[in-house]
Structure 1
């Protein structure tokens, strides 16, 4: 079965991203005892919540929870960080590497070492969005945890066309392999009238030279350990400037510091 993302936004950039999404049908499944297939509509306010340590102490949780649709990336920790990141989740988007780590973690005999089961339980029922190459690993983990989710996957690779779409929006060439963060932002501009992004900060220190953690939460126990650095195939500095440009143009609001401050 298939669904199609649509958009009625007036922003020229949103119309560009809408063309990408509308043309890409996605396959959908029901995992576990999920009662319904995914239903992705059009929303007034949306948030994409990244995982940068810049979120610590941000007090953005209430603002994030107030959004109509909340997207998170790579199954982060929520419990214990609600004041900064909120606790509502409408969709979780996965990169290509994360689901294999999750599959390995879900198979640990020492269950105390598997950090992902509690993360999945905290978002049960949210839409899972994964590349077709990652679907098998997601299914394996969800079946192990005996949980229920709607799952969607593009009919082609998840990043197909995103770089070209971002380049058209930016009116300049966006190079490198798009990160799942860029994928989520481009998609959000197609399905939402007022997009917001939080926790998108690819630097290890702030303007005052204070250290910033790679993630606001600890890593997992899968070997080799999660390295606290970005994959060099992603041009994260370039993506950051792209997001800042969308902020300056009023396409979205990018929150970097504490909520209530710019």
Structure 2
């Protein structure tokens, strides 16, 4: 009888620790998933009506022959899933009382539950530059905007894709974007760096041993905040003002050490919570049963790839999960092969299915080997 009591106490302890870990690693890239993924094709019917709102500005039309937008419109499936009128970015003109009332009861990252009006207002009123309302500050010369989105998958190790990546007009990187020593494989150009404060800081800690000691910085580079929780809004405000973080988990932190000393409002883009809902509902609606519905969010790479697919004329994806992911290390910069980990708040198999299908339909190019 005593033995059964010990077993019961042990199982209860394991369950408690597991629950704490899931909470702690919310929106990190450090917590492996143990649930088997079930995937399905989504449809427009999964999109709540509340995600539909007018765009920030009318985007300039593209004259690119064979653009992905024209391919999407001609596709029976993806023509129904894509909505190019969705506003991707949150800025001051989107922060109205009506939007506040609608999103205040939605859990982060899909809303603002638990974030005060004063914090949001004081942050978003600083996002008042026209550059905050569109992804590209200016279109490059030529008819077609070509974008490369660079994930951190091990498939890039030895790929020698650096020149091909740098030849694109814009290059998106994310989280632990190690470049030094891997220039021939991943290139050197960075136009956008995407992150949550949590994933950025975790990457700086976890990948320091691989040379990732600071996030990319340059005059022309733009930072894309993914608003996963309160600390993202607080860090964004502090970064624009050039002041230490005044409160919360990052209190006392100096944003300038991440974004440089001259980081004005135009350096930053902020994804709209409604765009995150749109992405999840239309393209990546997971059937994995998470402990709390709010826990699930598409990966940073997925959000950036779908952002590019709604902004660029041509998109190439590098370092993203493919069918043969088991042949490669988890990350391209690892010195020894490590197994690919599936994380508790993402559905990587569902993402892999989507990338393969978009490549098959000719909507984007997925690097495979």
Number of the residue aligned with 1:166: 283
Gap regions ≥5 residues in structure 2: 1-54, 62-68, 93-123, 240-252, 288-295
- Whose Rg is larger? 2
Contact in 2 for aligned 1:17/1:189 (Cα 8 Å): no
Contact 1:26 1:154 in 2 (8 A): no
Q: Residues 156 and 318 of structure 2 are in contact (CA less than 8 Å); yes or no, is this contact kept in structure 1?
A: yes
Contact 2:91-2:125 within 8 A present in 1 as well: no
CA distance in 2, matches of 1:103, 1:97: 10
Q: Is the 8 A contact 1:17 1:186 kept in 2?
A: no
Following superposition, the deviation at residue 158 of structure 1 comes to: 6.6
Q: Distance in 2 between matches of 1:67 and 1:193?
A: 11
Shift of 1:234: 1.0
Distance between the aligned counterparts of 2:177 and 2:273, measured in 1? 25
8 Å Cα contact 2:210/2:334 also seen in 1: no
In structure 2, the residue matched to 1:66 is 167
1:98 is aligned to: 199
- Bigger helix share: 2
User: Higher strand fraction: Structure 1 or Structure 2?
Assistant: 1
How far is the alpha carbon of 1:233 from its aligned partner? Answer: 2.4
* Partner residue, 1:247: 359
Q: Partner residue of 1:134? A: 232
Aligned to 2:333, what secondary structure does the other structure show? coil
Determine if contact 1:17/1:187 at 8 Å carries over to the other structure: no
| Runs (5+) with no aligned partner, structure 1 | 31-35, 106-110, 168-172, 220-226, 258-262
Normalising to structure 2: TM-score of the pair?
0.52
SS of equivalent to 1:185: helix
Instruction: Determine if the alignment matches structure 1 residue 25 to structure 2 residue 90.
Output: yes
Change (3 A) 1:115 1:48: closer
Structure 1 CA distance, aligned partners of 2:147 and 2:362? 14
Aligned-residue offset at 1:250 = 0.4
State the Cα distance separating 1:137 from its structure 2 match: 4.3
Deviation digits for residues 37-60 of structure 1 (CA, Å, limit 9, x no counterpart) = 566336521111000111000010
Q: How many residues align?
A: 229
2:213 corresponds, among 116, 120, 127, to 116
Structure 2 match to 1:33:
none
* Alignment TM-score, normalising by the size of structure 1: 0.70
- RMSD across aligned positions (CA): 3.9
Greater mean alpha carbon deviation, residues 92-101 or residues 50-59: 92-101
